[in-house]
Amino acid sequence: MATYRELLQQVKGEIDEIDAPDARARHAADVTLFLDIREQDEWDEGAIPGAVHVPRGQLESRIEGLVPDRSREIVVLCAGGSRSAFAARSLADLGYENVSSLAGGFTDWKRNGFPIELPRTLSPKQRSRYSRHLLIPEVGEAGQQRLLDSRVLLIGAGGLGSPASLYLAAAGVGTIGIVDADVVDDSNLQRQIVHSTERLGEPKALSAKRTIEALNPDVEVKAYEERLTSENVERILADGWDVIVDGADNFPTRYLVNDASVWHGIPVVHGSIYRFEGQATVFKPRLPGSAAGEADGARAEEGGPCYRCLFPSPPPPELAPSCAEGGVLGVLPGIIGSLQANETLKLLLGVGDTLEGRLLLFDALGTTFDEVSVKRDPTCPVCGDRPEITEYIDYVEFCQPSASQSADGARR
């Protein structure tokens, strides 16, 4: 039987150790993964910049998800170098081939005056609320922080905006903007689950704000009780948004959202529904400035298609019945709006493959998903190589040439 001291000596003899200056050199080279296995409260008080934190007790269960590549160079550290020695041996037992323990640990690193940072940390309440996210390597604490720092603008708090806003809020997207001029009507409640019977007559933007803030107090909701128009779009976008979720119910707004998003370089997560069928895609137009800049090859990254590449013009009004005329299965916007939330979260986290360049077609009757490809149109009047439309147009006239006059007078 060995004492602790004997066991530690034995383990240290079986692993590689490096000292702080050596670790500093590797840190500067920026290829080594620094794995900090201290407890949460130790980590909260300071850490090596860029280090990944996994408390010792969770190391074996989480390391494969975090570091699938077993040949990756890892420096494991604790406060003084003892816990990390045992951890290094455990990692070797798991097949990690390139593991060193930082002798002297974080204490020695700090004593040498090497760089440290105060990690931005979640509160204990947040850690509990988002625990299922924290367990996913693609999200984790850094990803959750990113969501909390993110700003998503929802066009419409209706069928699509309801599930999208609820899931984005639950996921901890820190700021959610909602543009909707409508009030809650009893015919909405068959599908618009962010509202409720007691909210009848209440502005939808405010009703959604109440529901969302009750669901998650981390989320700040900016309610815009107005319809998006050429007159207010710049003011609303000036509040700064990372992603726009388009759940608009009419073509003029769709084209307006598109043009504004192209000019501002904001990705749009698109969804639309009718009866039993829905569509979803992601428009990620190229960054502003890069359109004219064929010469500056450094930033010549070609953007994805925009809404106008997919549908250069709307159908004539008589061929485009709305859900108010044609109806919609209540759960359909739940499915499409949830897909929009999924795409939005991936865009914010920078993980996975989005629907950019693909239009997903869902048929609720057959329960089938199909997809068709969507390509950027170099002749697109807005995002093409030689854009003809460079400022807001009369979108009502564009979408409904014959009816624009009456639309002006007889609204609502």
Partner 1 sequence: MTSVRIPPTLRNEVGGERQVEASGASVREVLEDLARRYPALESQLFEDGELAPFVNVYLGGEDVRTLDGLETSVDGQQLILLPAMAGGSRELAFN
- DSSP letters, 194-230, are TS-GGGTTSBHHHHHHHHHHHH-TT-EEEEE-S---T
The correct pick among 10, 58, 61, 313 for binding partner 1 (CB under 8 A) is: 313
Closer CB to partner 1, residue 252 or residue 303?
252
Residue 303 engages partner 1 in binding (rule: CB under 8 A): no
Interatomic CA distance for residues 140 and 143, integer angstroms: 5
Interatomic CA distance for residues 166 and 209, integer angstroms: 10
| Backbone CA torsion sign across 191, 192, 198, 199 | negative
| Least distance from partner 1 to the Cβ atom of residue 360, Å | 11
Residue window 365-404: x/- pattern of binding to partner 1, with contact defined by CB under 8 A: xx---xxxxxx-------------------xx--xx--x-
Inter-residue contact 100 to 17 (CB < 8 Å): yes
Closer CB to partner 1, residue 93 or residue 302?
302
Q: For tokens 């809650």, what's the residue? A: 184
Residue 340 engages partner 1 in binding (rule: CB under 8 A): no
Tell me which residues in 186-215 interact with partner 1 (CB under 8 A): 187-188, 191-192
Q: For tokens 């590549």, what's the residue? A: 69
Closer CB to partner 1, residue 67 or residue 228?
228
Residues sharing a CB contact under 8 Å with residue 167, sequence separation 6 or more, in sequence order: 338, 341, 342
Closer CB to partner 1, residue 91 or residue 374?
374
The correct pick among 9, 322, 402, 405 for binding partner 1 (CB under 8 A) is: 322
Residue 251 engages partner 1 in binding (rule: CB under 8 A): yes
Residue 411 engages partner 1 in binding (rule: CB under 8 A): yes
The correct pick among 115, 289, 326, 401 for binding partner 1 (CB under 8 A) is: 326
Residue 254 engages partner 1 in binding (rule: CB under 8 A): yes
| Least distance from partner 1 to the Cβ atom of residue 133, Å | 30
Provide φ and ψ at 401, rounded to 5°.
-50, -40
Residue 232 engages partner 1 in binding (rule: CB under 8 A): no
Interatomic CA distance for residues 277 and 294, integer angstroms: 40
Strand order in the sheet with 52-53: 16-18, 99-102, 74-77, 33-36, 52-53
Instruction: State the maximum Cα–Cα separation within the chain, in Å, rounded to a whole number.
Output: 93
Q: Which residues in this chain contact partner 1 in the complex, by CB under 8 A?
A: 156, 158-160, 182, 187-188, 191-192, 227, 247-254, 271-279, 310-317, 319-326, 328, 359, 361, 363, 365-366, 370-375, 395-396, 399-400, 403, 407, 410-412
